[in-house]
Amino acid sequence: MNDDHIRTVSEITHELKDLVEVGFPDVFVLGEISNCTRAGSGHVYLTLKDELAQLRAVIWRGTASRLKFDLEDGLEVVAGGSIEVYAARGTYQLIVKQLMPRGIGTLELAFRQLQQKLEAEGLFDIERKRPLPRFPRKVALITSPTGAAVRDMLQVMTRRWRGCDIVILPVAVQGQGAAQQIADAFQMVERVPGVDVVITGRGGGSLEDLWAFNEEVVARAIFNCSLPVVSAVGHEIDVSISDLVADRRALTPSEAAELVVPETREVQEILDRSRHRLLSGLTGRAERARMQLDAIASRPVFTRPLQRIHDLMTQIDELEARLKRSVARVVDSRANVLSTATAALQALNPLGVLARGYSVTRNDDNGTILRNADEIELGSMIKTQFESSSIVSRVESINREDRPFVDLTLADIDVGRTKTE
């Protein structure tokens, strides 16, 4: 074998590299994404495959940053770019410069992916949406200062309600950097004093024109805003991510203005009805109060104020008379009992007996009452007690047989009366 026909690996690889890269400078490949990874440098590495073969591909950082949708395994795409050979590994790969989802537009896919992501995080939850103020004092408009949308909103608000101020935060509503301007304006509106509600949006246009309101940075700015937000992007058929995150969605910018401020005529009608109800209610209450006062005034306590006192005085007089009669009956009854007891005591009183001619004889030495002659001896001294005087005698004789009087016992006395046999 001639050495002239022997080539090194590098030589073969470089020859193949020249053939491949020259032969496939600009190709479009249909395939399903697999093994998709994003490096720390921002480059994206993936594999495009079908039922029979695989093709390695790489998306450099600059191209990857401009993609509107997220890359994920299983997504069928059309990738455009050039074939390059990586000599260090002896492999070839597709350098992707364009990437489009198969069967669906790029922006439509990006919209669906972001919608699913934010919905899973709860940014669309009904429970977190706040009510709009009934009578706002200041309204902030985050929109283009030169578009038709801002003119429509100003015209509607000034016509319907002149009781609030309007401040405009000018931003670009389409094109490169518009989404970031809108997000920055939501941070700025927090520092504007007195703002009660925010309207953001623009007039109609294509999906590309409205895309700034489908960016994640705008959605999170609306979600993090402490003020109620009304989103009015495009026309009735247009639905943006901003519409889903905002507290209220308006079909058009003009409707957003109608939602935010009340109609002067409607408020006047409400005030008129309220005034009528208030007057009717007050009149009714006054009439009922007057009837109650008349009823109270007709009561006897007011027509004859001393009647009650007179009735009470009569009752007191009657009670006094009854009390006197009761006391008199009690006194009479007690007097009768006392009189009876006194008569009984008088009948038993020895002095009463003495008053009737009897006397009491005592032994003069010891004061013992002498009840019969057996208790005394001849020559002893006795003391005879009369009703009001007494005498002292010496016993000269004793006659033990004489009984000139009838004996009386305590049994013969009954309630003050003396009974004789």
- Judgement on whether residues 57 and 134 belong to the same structural domain of the protein: no
Radius of gyration of the chain (CA): 65
Evaluate if residue 229 carries a pLDDT over 90. yes
In this structure, of 152-161, 280-289, 360-369, the range with the lowest mean pLDDT score is 360-369
Determine the distance from the C-alpha atom of residue 49 to the mean position of all C-alpha atoms in its chain, rounded to a whole number.
61
Evaluate if residue 414 carries a pLDDT over 60. no
Please give the residue range of the domain that contains residue 244.
111-262
pTM, entire model: 0.54
Share of the chain above pLDDT 70, in %: 91
- Judgement on whether residues 60 and 123 belong to the same structural domain of the protein: no
Evaluate if residue 406 carries a pLDDT over 50. no
- Judgement on whether residues 123 and 40 belong to the same structural domain of the protein: no
Evaluate if residue 416 carries a pLDDT over 90. no
First-residue to last-residue Cα distance in the chain: 193
- Judgement on whether residues 245 and 128 belong to the same structural domain of the protein: yes
- Judgement on whether residues 131 and 27 belong to the same structural domain of the protein: no
Phi/psi at 207 (5° precision): -60, -35
Other C-beta atoms closer than 10 Å to the C-beta of 421 total 6
Evaluate if residue 167 carries a pLDDT over 90. yes
Instruction: Report the SS3 class of residue 14.
Output: helix
- Judgement on whether residues 121 and 19 belong to the same structural domain of the protein: no
pLDDT of residue 415: 41
- Judgement on whether residues 123 and 228 belong to the same structural domain of the protein: yes
- Judgement on whether residues 117 and 235 belong to the same structural domain of the protein: yes
Cα–Cα distance between 250 and 256 in angstroms, integer?
A: 5
Query: Does 405 map to a domain?
Result: yes
**Res. 266 pLDDT band, cuts 50 70 90:** confident
Beta strands (DSSP E) in 24-108 are: 27-38, 44-49, 54-59, 76-86, 91-101
Q: List pLDDT tens digits, range 292-330.
A: 888 888 887 777 778 878 888 899 999 999 999 999 999
- Judgement on whether residues 49 and 94 belong to the same structural domain of the protein: yes
- Which residue, of 232, 262, 292, is where some domain finishes? 262
Cα–Cα distance between 164 and 156 in angstroms, integer?
A: 13
Domains of the chain: total: 3
Find out whether 111 and 168 touch, Cβ atoms under 8 Å. no
Residue 407, judged by CB atoms within 10 A of its CB (0-12, 13-18, 19+), counts as: exposed
Share of the chain above pLDDT 90, in %: 39
Query: Does 118 map to a domain?
Result: yes
Q: Which residues pair with 49 in a beta bridge?
A: 32, 54
Find out whether 256 and 232 touch, Cβ atoms under 8 Å. yes
- Which residue, of 70, 103, 136, is where some domain finishes? 103
Mean pLDDT over 96-120 rounds to 84
pLDDT of residue 34: 87
- Judgement on whether residues 171 and 249 belong to the same structural domain of the protein: yes
Query: Does 310 map to a domain?
Result: no
- Judgement on whether residues 129 and 250 belong to the same structural domain of the protein: yes
Find out whether 96 and 133 touch, Cβ atoms under 8 Å. no
Residues 6+ apart with CB under 8 A from 13: 85, 87, 90
Q: List pLDDT tens digits, range 194-209.
A: 999 999 999 888 888 8
Query: Does 292 map to a domain?
Result: no
- Judgement on whether residues 56 and 97 belong to the same structural domain of the protein: yes
Evaluate if residue 395 carries a pLDDT over 80. yes
Evaluate if residue 123 carries a pLDDT over 80. yes
Geometric angle at alpha carbon 142, from 223 and 225, rounded to 5°: 20
Query: Does 148 map to a domain?
Result: yes
pLDDT of residue 389: 85
Domain at 23, CATH number: 2.40.50.140
Query: Does 182 map to a domain?
Result: yes
Among residues 18, 13, 17, 50, the alpha carbon closest in space to that of 34 is found at 50
Which range in 114-118, 195-199, 275-279, 382-386 is most confidently predicted, on average pLDDT?
Answer: 195-199
Among residues 156, 157, 154, the alpha carbon closest in space to that of 145 is found at 154
Query: Does 30 map to a domain?
Result: yes
Evaluate if residue 147 carries a pLDDT over 50. yes
Find out whether 233 and 240 touch, Cβ atoms under 8 Å. yes
Domain at 203, CATH number: 3.40.50.261
- Which residue, of 103, 132, 163, is where some domain finishes? 103
pLDDT of residue 421: 35
Query: Does 152 map to a domain?
Result: yes
pLDDT of residue 242: 94
Q: Which residues pair with 47 in a beta bridge?
A: 34, 56
Mean pLDDT of the residues in the chain: 85
